[in-house]
Amino acid sequence: MNGAGNRGQYSAAERERGRLDRLYGGEILHVRATATSALAAKQVRDDLAGLLPSETDPRDAEGTLGLAAFTKCLRGYLRSVRTRPEWRTWIPAIVEEAGLPLATLRFDTPNLRVVLARPEDKEYSDAVCFAHRDTWSAHHQAQINWWLAVYDTPWEASMAFFPDLFTHPVPNNSEEVNYAERRFLDLIGRASEAERPSPRASGDFDRSAEKRIPTLAGDLLVFSAAQLHGTRPNTSGRTRFSLDFRTVLADDAERNKGPENVDNRSQGSTLMDMLRVEV
Ligand SMILES: [Fe+2]
């Protein structure tokens, strides 16, 4: 990853602060696998291998097993990944190893995302491939998103970023998000996708400067939650697996640090439900 100018002139804390401020300014960091991100990626690869018939590469299983059998194998596992107790130590470790500040860190636990290699399936693409900022879903303006590659991920399976639009308003339906209402629906078990659609960019916007970043297993893409991004049809011929989680520095949130809000109209904040670093 990039350093902060002449390393000799800056303390570790200043370098960490500098990286975070660059993320707030719209930079996307590609961090090579750290000890703990590599460990997390390997854990998921081992788990997936254990769920599927031997000799079946998880990346090819949607084709070799068929979609229904593949989905059945994964269903319970996808739900269980988030609740692994290891994340409470692994995530702060990853943040530290990536050279970002830990003080007053809040975080959530990762989702395992599976993007099928079905670029010809328009219904599937419409459901999963849409551009958005995470801030439109009531995530804090100071939030940082972390995307972790479980396997090597080529350009054809990578998500897209639109960094040129970081400071430009994009039409969207974020006004439909009220976090307090969504939280209540979650509590009473009525949080279907129909009741809480994910906000998305609407209408036309300039996609010409789309950026994709191929990654190796364990690599991290680190970016502001205000960064416009989205899944693209996976034309790699293999299923893509990735983990993603989110962090916020509570001190920065309190001081209203982070990028300017250019087009987010969601209400409430997910910050209250994030975990703290255990000391
Ligand atoms: Fe997102």
* CB within 8 Å of 8: residues ≥ 6 apart: none
Determine the Cα–Cα distance for residues 4 and 191; give it in Å rounded to an integer: 43
Between the CA of 244 and the centroid of ligand 1 the distance, in Å, is 9
Q: With respect to residue 85, please indicate whether it lies within any of the assigned structural domains.
A: yes
Triad 133, 259, 96: Cα angle to 5°: 90
Question: Quick check: 231 pLDDT over 90?
Answer: yes
3 band by pLDDT with thresholds 50, 70 and 90 = very low
- Domain carrying residue 35: 11-276
Q: How far is CA 121 from CA 118, 126, 230, 275, in A?
A: 5, 9, 17, 37
Q: Distance, CA 133 to ligand 1 centroid (Å)?
A: 6
For ion ligand 1, residues whose CB falls within 5 Å? 134
User: Quick check: is 149 in a domain?
Assistant: yes
Residue 2 lies in a domain: no
CA of 45 to the centre of ligand 1 (A): 22
pLDDT band at 188 (very low <50, low <70, confident <90, very high): confident
> Dihedral through CA 56, CA 153, CA 134, CA 120, nearest 10?
-70
Q: Average pLDDT, whole number, for the chain?
A: 92
Structure-model confidence comparison of residues 242 and 185, the more confident one:
242
Residue 60 belongs to a domain: yes
DSSP string, 83-95: T-TTHHHHHHHHH
Q: How confident is the model at residue 1 (pLDDT cuts 50, 70, 90)?
A: very low
Domains in the chain, number:
1
CA of residue 56 to ligand 1 center, whole Å: 30
Is the pLDDT at 193 greater than 70, yes or no? no
Global pTM reads 0.93
pLDDT at 184: 81
Q: Establish if 28 belongs to a structural domain.
A: yes
Could you report the per-residue pLDDT of 78-137, keeping only the tens digit for each?
989 999 999 999 999 999 999 999 999 999 999 999 999 999 999 999 899 999 999 999
Ligand 1 centre to CA of 132 (Å) is 6
CATH code of the domain covering residue 16: 2.60.120
Residue 3, domain member (yes or no): no
Does residue 6 lie in a domain region?
no
Query: Is residue 162 assigned to a domain?
Result: yes
What per-residue confidence (pLDDT) applies to 206? 85
Q: Is the pLDDT of residue 264 over 90?
A: yes
Query: Virtual CA dihedral for 161, 167, 172, 173, nearest 10 degrees?
Result: 110
Q: What band does 7 get if pLDDT is binned at 50, 70 and 90?
A: low
